[in-house]
Protein backbone atom coordinates (compact mmCIF):
# COMPACT_ATOMS: atom_id res chain seq x y z
CA UNK A 1 0.00 0.00 0.00
CA UNK A 2 1.38 3.38 -1.01
CA UNK A 3 0.94 6.10 1.63
CA UNK A 4 -1.25 9.02 0.57
CA UNK A 5 1.55 11.48 1.38
CA UNK A 6 3.57 10.05 -1.52
CA UNK A 7 1.01 10.65 -4.27
CA UNK A 8 -1.22 13.43 -2.90
CA UNK A 9 1.37 16.17 -3.48
CA UNK A 10 1.51 15.20 -7.17
CA UNK A 11 -2.30 15.19 -7.38
CA UNK A 12 -2.44 18.59 -5.72
CA UNK A 13 0.29 20.07 -7.95
CA UNK A 14 -1.49 18.86 -11.09
CA UNK A 15 -4.79 20.18 -9.75
CA UNK A 16 -3.24 23.59 -9.01
CA UNK A 17 -1.85 23.83 -12.55
CA UNK A 18 -5.15 22.71 -14.12
CA UNK A 19 -7.10 25.20 -11.99
CA UNK A 20 -4.75 28.04 -12.87
CA UNK A 21 -5.04 27.23 -16.58
CA UNK A 22 -8.80 26.59 -16.29
CA UNK A 23 -8.36 23.08 -17.73
CA UNK A 24 -9.77 20.85 -14.99
CA UNK A 25 -12.13 19.08 -17.38
CA UNK A 26 -9.58 18.76 -20.19
CA UNK A 27 -6.77 17.42 -17.99
CA UNK A 28 -9.23 15.20 -16.12
CA UNK A 29 -10.37 13.60 -19.37
CA UNK A 30 -6.77 13.07 -20.47
CA UNK A 31 -5.75 11.55 -17.15
CA UNK A 32 -8.78 9.23 -17.16
CA UNK A 33 -7.60 8.07 -20.60
CA UNK A 34 -4.12 7.37 -19.19
CA UNK A 35 -5.62 5.44 -16.27
CA UNK A 36 -7.86 3.43 -18.60
CA UNK A 37 -4.93 2.62 -20.88
CA UNK A 38 -2.89 1.23 -17.98
CA UNK A 39 -5.86 -0.74 -16.64
CA UNK A 40 -6.50 -2.29 -20.07
CA UNK A 41 -2.79 -3.03 -20.66
CA UNK A 42 -1.30 -4.65 -17.54
CA UNK A 43 1.95 -5.38 -19.40
CA UNK A 44 2.44 -1.66 -20.01
CA UNK A 45 1.85 -1.02 -16.30
CA UNK A 46 4.40 -3.71 -15.39
CA UNK A 47 6.91 -2.17 -17.80
CA UNK A 48 6.42 1.28 -16.27
CA UNK A 49 6.99 -0.11 -12.78
CA UNK A 50 9.91 -2.42 -13.54
CA UNK A 51 12.94 -1.28 -11.51
CA UNK A 52 15.48 -2.29 -14.18
CA UNK A 53 13.92 -0.23 -16.97
CA UNK A 54 15.73 3.14 -17.16
CA UNK A 55 13.54 6.21 -16.58
CA UNK A 56 14.31 7.58 -20.06
CA UNK A 57 13.02 4.37 -21.68
CA UNK A 58 9.82 4.66 -19.69
CA UNK A 59 9.36 8.30 -20.73
CA UNK A 60 10.12 7.50 -24.38
CA UNK A 61 7.51 4.73 -24.35
CA UNK A 62 4.89 6.99 -22.79
CA UNK A 63 5.69 9.69 -25.36
CA UNK A 64 5.15 7.22 -28.24
CA UNK A 65 1.83 6.08 -26.80
CA UNK A 66 0.40 9.37 -25.58
CA UNK A 67 2.08 12.28 -27.40
CA UNK A 68 -0.83 12.77 -29.82
CA UNK A 69 -3.56 12.53 -27.18
CA UNK A 70 -2.15 14.37 -24.16
CA UNK A 71 -1.27 17.94 -23.35
CA UNK A 72 2.44 18.57 -22.74
CA UNK A 73 1.63 19.40 -19.10
CA UNK A 74 -0.03 16.01 -18.53
CA UNK A 75 2.94 14.20 -20.11
CA UNK A 76 5.28 16.27 -17.94
CA UNK A 77 3.27 15.26 -14.87
CA UNK A 78 4.00 11.61 -15.63
CA UNK A 79 7.65 12.31 -16.46
CA UNK A 80 8.21 14.04 -13.11
CA UNK A 81 6.81 11.04 -11.27
CA UNK A 82 9.09 8.73 -13.26
CA UNK A 83 12.16 10.91 -12.66
CA UNK A 84 11.44 10.84 -8.94
CA UNK A 85 10.86 7.05 -9.01
CA UNK A 86 7.20 7.43 -8.04
CA UNK A 87 5.71 5.62 -11.03
CA UNK A 88 4.10 3.02 -8.75
CA UNK A 89 1.96 5.85 -7.34
CA UNK A 90 0.93 7.24 -10.74
CA UNK A 91 -2.57 5.74 -10.83
CA UNK A 92 -3.20 6.87 -7.25
CA UNK A 93 -2.02 10.38 -8.15
CA UNK A 94 -4.34 10.39 -11.17
CA UNK A 95 -7.28 9.25 -9.04
CA UNK A 96 -6.37 11.92 -6.48
CA UNK A 97 -6.44 14.59 -9.18
CA UNK A 98 -9.80 13.34 -10.46
CA UNK A 99 -11.26 13.48 -6.94
CA UNK A 100 -9.97 17.04 -6.41
CA UNK A 101 -11.35 18.12 -9.80
CA UNK A 102 -14.75 16.56 -9.09
CA UNK A 103 -15.01 18.38 -5.77
CA UNK A 104 -14.01 21.69 -7.34
CA UNK A 105 -16.61 21.23 -10.09
CA UNK A 106 -19.34 19.98 -7.71
CA UNK A 107 -19.55 16.63 -9.47
CA UNK A 108 -20.89 13.55 -7.69
CA UNK A 109 -20.12 10.04 -8.88
CA UNK A 110 -23.11 7.75 -9.28
CA UNK A 111 -22.24 4.05 -9.29
CA UNK A 112 -25.07 2.49 -11.26
CA UNK A 113 -25.55 -1.28 -11.42
CA UNK A 114 -27.83 -2.47 -14.21
CA UNK A 115 -28.83 -5.87 -15.60
CA UNK A 116 -27.81 -4.88 -19.13
CA UNK A 117 -26.24 -1.75 -20.62
CA UNK A 118 -28.57 1.21 -21.07
CA UNK A 119 -29.08 3.00 -24.37
CA UNK A 120 -27.60 6.50 -24.72
CA UNK A 121 -31.11 7.94 -24.45
CA UNK A 122 -31.78 6.00 -21.22
CA UNK A 123 -28.40 7.08 -19.80
CA UNK A 124 -29.10 10.74 -20.59
CA UNK A 125 -32.58 10.56 -19.01
CA UNK A 126 -31.25 8.78 -15.91
CA UNK A 127 -28.41 11.28 -15.38
CA UNK A 128 -30.82 14.21 -15.82
CA UNK A 129 -33.15 12.68 -13.20
CA UNK A 130 -30.29 12.10 -10.76
CA UNK A 131 -29.02 15.66 -11.25
CA UNK A 132 -32.51 17.04 -10.61
CA UNK A 133 -32.84 14.85 -7.50
CA UNK A 134 -29.42 15.72 -6.02
CA UNK A 135 -28.86 19.25 -7.29
CA UNK A 136 -25.34 18.16 -8.30
CA UNK A 137 -23.67 17.36 -11.59
CA UNK A 138 -23.53 13.58 -11.91
CA UNK A 139 -20.75 11.48 -13.41
CA UNK A 140 -22.20 8.01 -13.97
CA UNK A 141 -20.15 4.83 -13.67
CA UNK A 142 -22.06 1.85 -15.02
CA UNK A 143 -21.62 -1.75 -13.96
CA UNK A 144 -23.49 -4.72 -15.45
CA UNK A 145 -24.85 -7.04 -12.73
CA UNK A 146 -27.21 -9.78 -14.01
CA UNK A 147 -27.96 -10.88 -10.42
CA UNK A 148 -30.27 -7.86 -10.08
CA UNK A 149 -32.80 -9.69 -12.31
CA UNK A 150 -34.28 -6.32 -13.33
CA UNK A 151 -34.19 -2.64 -12.41
CA UNK A 152 -31.04 -0.96 -11.08
CA UNK A 153 -29.11 -0.03 -7.96
CA UNK A 154 -27.63 3.45 -7.69
CA UNK A 155 -25.10 4.63 -5.11
CA UNK A 156 -24.27 8.32 -4.80
CA UNK A 157 -21.92 8.97 -1.91
CA UNK A 158 -23.50 7.29 1.09
CA UNK A 159 -27.00 7.21 -0.45
CA UNK A 160 -28.28 3.94 -1.92
CA UNK A 161 -31.28 3.71 -4.22
CA UNK A 162 -32.19 0.06 -4.70
CA UNK A 163 -34.76 -0.31 -7.44
CA UNK A 164 -33.77 -3.86 -8.32
CA UNK A 165 -36.28 -6.62 -8.92
CA UNK A 166 -34.17 -8.80 -6.61
CA UNK A 167 -34.82 -6.39 -3.70
CA UNK A 168 -38.52 -6.15 -4.52
CA UNK A 169 -38.83 -9.95 -4.50
CA UNK A 170 -36.91 -10.12 -1.20
CA UNK A 171 -39.24 -7.48 0.31
CA UNK A 172 -42.29 -9.37 -0.92
CA UNK A 173 -40.97 -12.63 0.57
CA UNK A 174 -40.33 -10.87 3.87
CA UNK A 175 -43.87 -9.44 3.95
CA UNK A 176 -45.38 -12.84 3.15
CA UNK A 177 -43.36 -14.51 5.88
CA UNK A 178 -44.39 -11.80 8.36
CA UNK A 179 -48.05 -12.26 7.38
CA UNK A 180 -47.76 -16.05 7.88
CA UNK A 181 -46.24 -15.59 11.36
CA UNK A 182 -48.87 -13.00 12.30
CA UNK A 183 -51.71 -15.25 11.14
CA UNK A 184 -50.28 -18.29 12.91
CA UNK A 185 -49.61 -20.23 9.71
CA UNK A 186 -46.87 -22.85 9.93
CA UNK A 187 -45.36 -25.37 7.53
CA UNK A 188 -46.67 -28.41 9.47
Distance CA 115, CA 151 (A): 7
Above 60 in pLDDT, residue 188?
Answer: no
Q: What pLDDT does 25 receive? A: 94
Are 99 and 9 members of one domain?
A: yes
Domain boundary among 103, 127, 161: 103
The pLDDT > 70 percentage for the chain reads 95
Is the distance from CB of 27 to CB of 71 less than 8 angstroms? yes
State the residue range of the domain holding 48: 4-103
Above 80 in pLDDT, residue 138?
Answer: yes
CATH of the domain at 57: 1.10.520.20
Are 48 and 113 members of one domain?
A: no
Above 70 in pLDDT, residue 182?
Answer: no
Above 90 in pLDDT, residue 93?
Answer: yes
Distance CA 22, CA 151 (A): 39
State the alpha helices, DSSP H only, in the chain. 4-20, 24-40, 42-49, 55-66, 72-83, 90-104, 120-134, 165-182
Amino acid sequence: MIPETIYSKYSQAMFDIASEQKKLTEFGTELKGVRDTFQKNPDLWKFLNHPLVPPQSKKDTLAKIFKDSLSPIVLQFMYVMIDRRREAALLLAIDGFIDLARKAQHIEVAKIRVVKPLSKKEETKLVASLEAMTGQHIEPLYYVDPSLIGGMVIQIGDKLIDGSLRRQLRDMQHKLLQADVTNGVTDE
